[in-house]
Amino acid sequence: MKSNIKYAVGVDLGGTNVKVGIVSDSGKIIKKTSIDTKASEGPNKVVAQIITAIGQVLNNNKLKIKGIGIGAAGVVIVEKGIVENPPNVPGWKKVKLASIIENYFHIKTKVENDANAAAIAEMMFGAGKKFHSFIMVTLGTGVGGGIIFNKKIYRGNFGAAGEIGHVSIDYQGQQCNCGSFGCVETFVGNKYLVKRVQTELSYHKDSMIWNLINNDLSLLTPLIIEQALLKNDYFATKVVADLGKYLGIALASVANAIDISTFIIGGGVSGFGTPLIKSIQDTTSSRVLKSLKDKIKIIPAKLKNDAGIIGASSLIFYKS
């Protein structure tokens, strides 16, 4: 009996790891691997690592592969298969990644911005299934966003749509990597978050975070904050509530501007769970225009650890 299940390869190109998997058209991972990106060795090495990782999952593969999808940070010109300036790969300007991979494996290949890929994946397999329009927000080193409008990804005129992280909530705030000031990313991006908590911890001598980091501030990570939160540490609780507040302020502005009222929250710090979601919900609802107040929905992403791989593979199953 012949199976009608289709398969694709999903490639999650991060600054630290290249994660690759074979994924079914229902979003199930059949086989996966993860290798070092070796970003510091430059773009050619990174491309070689991608090829190596794809080769590993395709080795001895008997399934019919419909295509290879690659999710990458940075600006992606989808029609041309080009990835531009991914922030974590020094020296990478413009690489025609899709055609390189396609020519190597003779398998149709698509590239997409990783936040857009995550949005497509949540729409097809995750928390976004039942919504016509929503904005996917990925919290990590940066704050990414993908806009699904009427069941389609909305890329904007130049492929830059959904850069929610660079909505400024304080025009006199600290300078962001992007050059602007007070972007919400400077309030909730991992790096900034860790830095702020490091600074403020000295005023919270009785926070259990001190124990978790053995009194060594350099050991602080979002995961430590999450552990303290789960143990009801008062300071971690406040940090996460603040995080939700800052993000909620930005989302209220976005909702007012484009009247999309459903936001799906994913990415690394989504481990902060319900306290984070509740804080975002409260702030966004309290700040949007009256006509939207009852309509704001803040929802946790469904796809967790392998969201990047599944998101990338979904590019192949997605008909735009």
Strand partners, 297: 262
Does residue 160 interact with a second copy by CB under 8 A?
Answer: yes
Look at residue 231 and give its three-state secondary structure: coil
CB atoms inside a 10 Å sphere around CB 285: 19
Yes or no: say if 21 and 307 are a contact pair by the CB < 8 Å rule: no
From CA 71, how far away is CA 121, in angstroms rounded?
A: 11
Q: Which stretch binds a second copy (CB under 8 A): 41-49, 235-243, 289-297, 299-307?
A: 289-297
d(Cα 187, Cα 47) in Å, to the nearest integer? 33
Interaction of residue 253 with a second copy, rule CB under 8 A = yes
CA–CA separation, 280 and 17 (whole Å): 30
Indicate whether 259 belongs to the interface with a second copy (CB under 8 A). Answer: yes
Instruction: Verify binding: residue 296, a second copy, rule CB under 8 A.
Output: no
Q: How far is the CB of 249 from a second copy (least distance, A)?
A: 5
Separation of alpha carbons 98 and 82, rounded Å: 7
Question: C-beta of 119: minimal distance to a second copy in Å?
Answer: 14
Shorter beta-carbon distance to a second copy: residue 80 or 132: 132
Residue closer to a second copy, measured from CB, 67 or 244: 244
Residues across the chain:
320
Please state, in angstroms and rounded to a whole number, the distance separating the CA atoms of residues 240 and 276: 6
Q: Is the separation of the CB atoms in 115 and 75 below 8 Å?
A: no
φ/ψ (deg, to 5) at 35: -130, 165
Site map 9..48 versus a second copy, x via CB under 8 A? ----------------------------------------
Choice from 258, 282, 300, 302 touching a second copy (CB under 8 A): 258
Q: CB of 301 within 8 A of CB of 127? A: yes
Q: Is residue 286 part of the contact set for a second copy (CB under 8 A)?
A: yes
Binding to a second copy by CB under 8 A, coded x per residue (else -) over 181-220, reads x---------------------------------------
User: Closer to a second copy at the Cβ: 104 or 154?
Assistant: 154
Residue selected from 158, 218, 305, 319 as contacting a second copy according to rule CB under 8 A: 158
Transcribe 29-96 into DSSP letters: EEEEEEEE--GGG-HHHHHHHHHHHHHHHHTT--SPEEEEEEEESSEEEGGGTEEE--TTSTT--EE-
Least distance from a second copy to the Cβ atom of residue 201, Å? 23
Pick 168 or 207: Cβ nearer a second copy: 168
Task: Tell me which of 17, 24, 180, 227 binds a second copy, using CB under 8 A.
Answer: 180
Rounded to whole angstroms, the Cα distance separating 264 from 297 reads 8
Per the CB < 8 A criterion, the answer to whether 57 and 10 are in contact is no
Among 4, 59, 60, 157, binds a second copy (CB under 8 A): 157
Among 98, 124, 164, 220, binds a second copy (CB under 8 A): 164
Out of 8, 287, 309, 310, name the contact with a second copy by CB under 8 A.
287
Written as one letter, the residue type at 146 is: G
Indicate whether 64 belongs to the interface with a second copy (CB under 8 A).
Answer: no
User: Nearest approach, Cβ of 117 to a second copy (angstroms)?
Assistant: 17
Residues that bind a second copy (CB under 8 A): 75, 84-85, 132-133, 145, 147, 154-164, 166-172, 178-181, 246, 249, 252-254, 256-261, 286-292, 295
